[in-house]
Amino acid sequence: MRSDELTGALVEFADTLVADFDIVEFLQRLTDRCVELLPVDAAGLVLGNGAGELYVVAATCDDARLVETFQLHVDEGPCVECYHSGRPAAAADLATAGRRWPQLAPALQQLGFSAVHALPMRCRAEVIGAMNLFHRAPGELDATTAAIARGFTDVATIGILQQRARREQEVLVEQLQAALTSRVLIEQAKGMLAERLNLDAEEAFGLLRRHARSGNRRLTDLATDVIEGRIDVSHHSP
């Protein structure tokens, strides 16, 4: 990865952190950049809702989203360990992780992943979520990749905590819940478009994002309009 690509990504993140930024779109862009700029095959991000429950809020592909959702369902895996311990959790070779994660490790391998690394989203002693990096081939993260991934995870944490600085703790919990609700709306709209336009889930999500960007609209607002039939985005179909 060239230094100008990394600089460009950091500038993009900084430009996004404005007063009324869309937290779901921000986190989605960040996970996308992880895959584009780092030697990883997929990425996902989970957030806690303030009551210790984890939810998937961003993923770069359906396989990553499926894995994230499954590990939360079975309550085992790197993001669960990472969130509760506040420390990185990893398996450089999932073929040897069956005893540690008896349900998750086989599921990851079935989807073609051979290694996984999770990094905590933390500020001092508080952990608000975790970033997961998935690999098709086994192996450890090299020092440079680990450092950049840590930086991206810190950017995500800063993005969320920036909003907290403007509000009381109770409002932060409501905001995180709103982000999770936004994800539900986006998934509903994505499913409707996929069925209506005969697209796969990733193509439908890409269509939503392109339409939101071209109209300078929040992704959540556009998803609501699609669900309620107030807008037709089919003319943006690839």
Q: Is the pLDDT of residue 170 over 70?
A: no
Q: Nearest CA to 212 among 229, 225, 203, 196?
A: 225
Q: How would residue 65 be classed by pLDDT, with cut points 50, 70 and 90? A: very high
Q: Is the pLDDT of residue 235 over 90?
A: no
Q: Are 198 and 208 in contact (CB under 8 A)?
A: no
Two tokens, residue 100: 């540690």
Confidence at residue 3, expressed as pLDDT on a 0 to 100 scale? 64
Q: From residue 48, how far is each of 18, 54, 55, 76, 100 by CA, in Å?
A: 23, 4, 6, 15, 23
Q: Sketch out the chain's domains with CATH numbers.
A: 3-166 (3.30.450.40), 181-236 (1.10.10)
Is the model's pTM score more than 0.75?
A: no
Given the DSSP bridges, would you call strands 115-123 and 126-135 parallel, antiparallel or unpaired? antiparallel
Q: Nearest CA to 71 among 47, 35, 45, 104?
A: 104
Two tokens, residue 132: 């997961």
Q: Is the pLDDT of residue 238 over 60?
A: no
Q: Are 132 and 78 in contact (CB under 8 A)?
A: yes
